[in-house]
Amino acid sequence: MRHYPLLLAHELRMLAVSVATYSAAVLFLILMGLIYFLVLNGYNSQAETDPPMAQYFQLFFFPVFFVVPLLTMKSLAEERRHGTLEAMLTTPASTLEIVLAKYTAAYLFYIGLWALTLVFPCITLWFLQGVRADSPLHDTASLVGGFLFVSASGLLYIALGIFASSLTRNTLVAGMLSFSMLFVLIISGYWLTKLQLQDSWLIHAQAVVDYLQTFRQLEDFSRGIVDTRPFFLYASNTILVLGLTTLVVESRATA
C-alpha cells in the first residue's frame, strides 16, 4: 500500500476541481436545508413524539439517491472511457490501491457534506438562544446517533457507487446503476417487512429481513440507541463490494 497515499491525494484533487462535485454539494446542502426547515416547521405546528433531529435523519435516503451517484459515477467509468485506467494499471500501484483511493476520496467527501449539515442545528440554537437545555432542539443523542448511522451506512453506499462505475464506460449508465442498487438496498427491506410470512422456513427469512431493515436501524440510531451489528453489517459488505470491484477492474483491464 505504498502508493495509496499518493493516489488518494490525486483523487482528492480531482474531486476538488470537478464540476460534478460542486453540483452534488450544492444540491445536497439545498435539499438538506429544505428538509431541516420543513422538519422544524412541522415540529412547531403540531405535537411530535420524535425530536427534530430524529425526524431529520429519517429522511436521509432522499439525498443519498442523488448525491452518491453524482460522487461516484465518474470514478472508474470515465477513466475507462478515456483509456487512463489501463495506463494506471501499468504503474507499480496495484488495482486494490487504485480502487481504495477512489473509494476513500468519495467517502471523505460524502462525510464532509453531512458534517456541513451540522451547521443547521447550530444556527437554529444560535437564533433561539432562549431555548431551555432540556428542549428537544438540544437532543445530542439523536444528532450523534444519526451521524454515526450516516457514516456507517455511507461505507456501503459509496462502495456500491464505485462498483457501479466499474461496470461500464458510460458515466450516465454508472449513475443509473448506482441509483438502482441504492434504491433496492434501502427501500426493498422496508417493503419486505410488510409481507406476512407464515411458513416455518419463511419465519427465519423474516428475521434476516428485519436485521437488514435500514429504516429500523436508523430509527434506533436517531433515538440514541447505538447497536454494533449495523457497523459489522455495513463494514463486511463494503469489503465484499470493494473486493468485487477490484476483480471487475482487473478482468476488464486484461480483456
| Arithmetic mean of pLDDT, 12-19 | 82
Could you read off the pLDDT of 172-224 as tens digits, one per residue?
898 899 999 998 888 876 666 555 554 444 455 555 556 667 777 777 787 77
Q: Is the pLDDT of residue 69 over 70?
A: yes
Q: Is the pLDDT of residue 163 over 90?
A: yes
| Arithmetic mean of pLDDT, 26-38 | 86
The more confident residue out of 84 and 253 is: 84
Distances (CA, A) of 76 to 97, 167, 221, 237: 13, 9, 33, 20
| Arithmetic mean of pLDDT, 233-252 | 89
| Confidence tier at 242 by pLDDT (50, 70, 90) | very high
Q: What percent of the chain has pLDDT over 70?
A: 81
The more confident residue out of 87 and 137 is: 87
Q: What percent of the chain has pLDDT over 90?
A: 16
| Arithmetic mean of pLDDT, 111-136 | 73
Q: Is the pLDDT of residue 255 over 60?
A: no
Q: Is the pLDDT of residue 250 over 60?
A: yes
The more confident residue out of 28 and 254 is: 28
pTM for this prediction: 0.85
Q: Is the pLDDT of residue 90 over 70?
A: yes
CA proximity to 149, closest of 71, 213, 231: 231
Q: Which three cell numbers stand for residue 115?
A: 458534517
| Confidence tier at 128 by pLDDT (50, 70, 90) | low
CA proximity to 67, closest of 195, 169, 154: 154
Q: What is the pLDDT of residue 15?
A: 80
Per-domain residue ranges for the chain? 4-254
Q: Is the separation of the CB atoms in 226 and 235 below 8 Å?
A: no
Site of grid cell 419465519 = 203
Q: How far apart are CA 47 and CA 148, in angstroms?
A: 27
Q: Which three cell numbers stand for residue 87?
A: 495506463
Q: Is the pLDDT of residue 146 over 70?
A: yes
Q: How far apart are CA 138 and CA 103, in angstroms?
A: 34
Q: What is the pLDDT of residue 118?
A: 83
